Amino acid sequence: MPRTFFLVIFAALALSGCGEPEDTRPGQPVAHRKQAFKDIFDVFDSMGAMLKKDSYDAATFKALAQQLAARRNAPWNYFAADTLYPPSHARAEIWSEPAKFDEDKKDFLAATDRLIAAAGGQDRRAIEAAFGKVKDSCEACHKAFKKRSD
């Protein structure tokens, strides 16, 4: 038993060093970009959980929508031409198809505009529909421009 325990601990320690490479470039643009998307996702996920669990509270949802509005522009400036390196999950098509990437970004911003506006009202169906459009815009962009890690 003790030998098995030590083997498990050793394996866990060995694997803990196998994470993504650190962004060591000046200004860490990939790390900042990833964090900006995580911040957006965290707020959006909280909104989705509220809708899914039927624990909708208009004031809380509106506050989350305002947080989403404050965070939604953060990642875009970190897509500079020289930022396609590990630990990036971006695909080269971001830079080879900039018009498509820009269109997807505009779709996301327009969808979040609609969600933010809907969050100011009381129409739960409109809020859920607007939430779905934001989700769809994220999925479309990820499908076209993000490497699959699964």
> Which pTM does this prediction carry?
0.84
**Alpha helices (runs of H) in 17-148, residue ranges in sequence order:** 29-52, 58-71, 93-96, 98-119, 124-145
**Domains of the chain (ranges, CATH numbers):** 27-77+88-145 (1.20.120.10)
Answer yes or no: is pLDDT of 5 > 60: no
pLDDT tens-digit readout, 54-78: 789 999 999 999 999 999 999 999 9
Distance from chain centroid for Cα 15 = 25
Give dist(CA 140, CA 95) in Å, integer: 17
